[in-house]
Amino acid sequence: MLWFQHLSPTQQFLIVSVIKIVCVFCVVMAAVAYSVLAERKVSACIQNRHGPNRVGPFGLFQPVADGVKAFLKEDFVPGHVRRAYFWLAPMVSMTPALLVLAVIPFGSKLGAEKMVIADLNVGILYTFGIVSLGVYGIVLAGYASNSKYPFLGGIRSGAQMISYEIAMGMSVIPVFLIVGDLNLSQVIQYQAEHGWLVLYAPLSFVIFLISAFAETNRLPFDMPESEQELVGGYHTEYSSMKFALFFMGEYANMIAASAMMVTLFLGGWTLPLAGLDRPASSIVLGVAHIVIFMVKVAVLMGMFIWVRWMWPRFRYDQLMDLGWRRFLPLALANIVVTAAWLWMRG
């Protein structure tokens, strides 16, 4: 690696950043593909059937077959759609989830390198700013399809995401009152020294968790798609890879939401065991921290999948009532109680 040492600091930073970006992108895309397979297997188990088991051993190559099928299917664009927006919407839906993952610390260190692409001092503000852009892809899809069912799905999604985004944002304020820092790496470091924040702010975790279901359009909050009422909602008119991009965006958003919950409430890459709650001093420990983080994310992803096949869908008025009349006052009360507790503690 002598050639690397002779590069300028800026060049070294750019090369390392590109390597991190490529690695994170490849891992997330593989996780998206196999999350779909896991969901199909879990749903089959719950419904007492086999699920995909023909393509490869235990159906492990099914995501590859699905990807090839999506590429080879006819990309049909109806004549009545607004074409520019119709093409733009799937990309807008997919991109925010990938941008959020750029500030998530997925490990401590490997050598001298921090295992985060961009260690921002205002990481949480960045994440909520980017997450709020995801709704534009769905609203654009509903508008561009120029059809009543997608349009209703887009309107529902806009109202739903705005409603629960407020509660989700307010639920993390107690976390930063406790930690005193907006940097996500510092949030994990605080948990390494004082214990996981789910123990200090359990109500924040519950509000964030349920709001994450609404933000990712997962059951029991999948009203923008709602097959029984809206056929498929905002992606009814889509086919081929544009249709697949919406589903890739949904699962990428689930991964991003799970990674945020792990970072904010579940200790990130730490475990309350000897040697696993402090920054890595060796390559092996650094890899162990990455594995710990990924396992925690996988557990939360499993919960997302399990809930979809075990809970019925809410009515739309129940969904909005829960967001505005239940979660918003609870989140406000949680902030006040946490601030009072910190003030009394000195």
**How much of the chain, in percent, has pLDDT values that exceed 70?**
98
Please write the tens of the pLDDT for every residue from 164-214.
888 999 999 999 899 988 899 999 999 988 889 999 999 999 999 999 998
Bridge partners (DSSP) listed for residue 109: 114
Give dist(CA 56, CA 58) in Å, integer: 6
**Degrees (nearest 5) of the Cα angle 185, 294, 35?**
130
318: which 2 tokens?
């129940």
Distances (CA, A) of 200 to 146, 209, 296, 314: 48, 16, 19, 30
Please write the tens of the pLDDT for every residue from 308-319.
888 888 888 888
pTM of the model: 0.92
**Degrees (nearest 5) of the Cα angle 263, 266, 271?**
105
Query: Given a cut of 80, is residue 6 above it in pLDDT?
Result: no
Give dist(CA 253, CA 271) in Å, integer: 25
> How much is the average pLDDT of 237-261?
88
Instruction: Name the 3-class secondary structure at 335.
Output: helix
Return the percent helix, strand and coil in the chain, to nearest 5.
70, 0, 30
Domains in the chain: boundaries: 76-345
